[in-house]
Amino acid sequence: MINETKHYQVRVFYEDTDHSGVVYHANYLKYFERAREDYLGFQQLIDMGKDGIGFAVYKAELSYNEGAEFGDVLDIRSSMKLDGDYRAVFHHEAWRENSKKAAVTAEIQLVCLNKNKKLLKISDLDIF
């Protein structure tokens, strides 16, 4: 099951870039993390955290097609699907304005853990 695509805007600040003015590659992971937080709902994540429940990245695959630059506003497009009982797979794309292809794409796999770091069935949670 794939949920709807949601959009999240990110402005590229000077601190996000390397000496050439292009976004440092690891910062896309931060952008995608913010988009997932927005996707799942900030308050819902706070409530889960109070119960000792949280998500951990199991696997991340990124492809870099075009570098975003200082001053760009990126449209982060995110969708999610459940992969079995224990894994949520997010597909993210970072789009520059007026671009014909995504600057960066990613597939981020998450698992859910309880306060003892034991796997929880995501399918049992009322999140998705």
* Among 16, 18, 47, 85, the one annotated catalytic: 18
- Give the separation between CA 116 and CA 23, rounded to whole angstroms: 36
Our answer to whether residue 83 is catalytic in this structure is no
Amino acid identity of residue 74, one-letter, is: L
Which DSSP helix (H) or strand (E) runs through 35? helix 27-40
Q: Cα-flanking dihedrals φ and ψ of residue 79, to 5°?
A: -135, 165
Which residue(s) pair with 95 in the sheet?
75
Q: Which tokens is 72 given? A: 């760009």
CA 86 to chain centre: 17
Determine the Cα–Cα distance for residues 128 and 97; give it in Å rounded to an integer.
Answer: 30
- Give catalytic residues, as residue numbers: 18
